[in-house]
């Protein structure tokens, strides 16, 4: 840490204050820790139980439909909820991790476990009652048939 302090121009002794302000790796001391706020309490963990990861999607269109594709490995079809409200498609679900009691330490933990969602504004009008979804090999495919009714209308101007 001393090398990095010298590199960025922090003098001896003020590194702890800077590291505390930026969440750096300053070890806890007897009087308090770097994660304590000005109120004296612990900061709230940003990844709490209400956090939802954002689902990555591909959205493309064909002549007859809009297709949404997403990789959601490890999720059962019954754990996925797909809703259409006006011109917005929302995909929401839960990825549960099967815990092993014998795990004592994680060397890497990059997989996201927990709730996820994604809302997509649909680029065209779709027939909501004919939407289909399938899950195969961890890939979710949602097919939204385009609405056949024309959205453009012609308005005649009257002279008054």
Q: To the nearest whole percent, how much of the chain has pLDDT over 90?
A: 39
64-93 in b/e form (b: 16+ CB < 10 A) is ebbebebebeebeeeebeeebeeeebebbb
Q: What is the reported pLDDT for 106?
A: 73
63 has pLDDT over 70? yes
Q: What is the reported pLDDT for 90?
A: 95
120 has pLDDT over 60? yes
Average pLDDT over residues 146-155: 75
Confidence of residue 78 (pLDDT cuts 50, 70, 90): very high
pLDDT digits (tens, 9 = 90+) for 3-58: 555 555 565 655 555 444 444 444 444 444 444 444 444 444 545 556 678 889 99
Q: Which domains does the chain have, with CATH numbers?
A: 1-43 (no CATH), 53-99+110-145 (2.60.40.790)
Q: 71: closest CA among 130, 111, 21? A: 111
């Amino acid at each position: 840490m001393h090398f990095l302090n010298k590199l960025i121009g922090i003098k001896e002794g003020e590194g702890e204050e800077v590291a505390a302000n930026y969440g750096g790796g300053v070890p806890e001391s007897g009087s308090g820790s770097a994660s304590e706020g000005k109120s004296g309490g612990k900061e709230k963990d940003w990844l709490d139980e209400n956090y939802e990861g954002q689902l990555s999607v591909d959205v493309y269109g064909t002549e007859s439909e809009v297709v949404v594709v997403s990789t959601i490995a490890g999720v059962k079809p019954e754990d996925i909820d797909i809703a259409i409200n006006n011109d917005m498609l929302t995909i929401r679900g839960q990825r549960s991790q099967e815990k092993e009691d014998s795990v004592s330490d994680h060397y890497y933990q990059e997989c996201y476990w927990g709730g996820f969602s994604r809302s997509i504004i649909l680029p065209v009008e779709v027939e909501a009652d004919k939407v289909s979804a399938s899950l195969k090999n961890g890939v979710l495919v949602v097919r939204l048939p385009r609405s056949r009714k024309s959205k453009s209308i012609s308005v005649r101007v009257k002279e008054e």
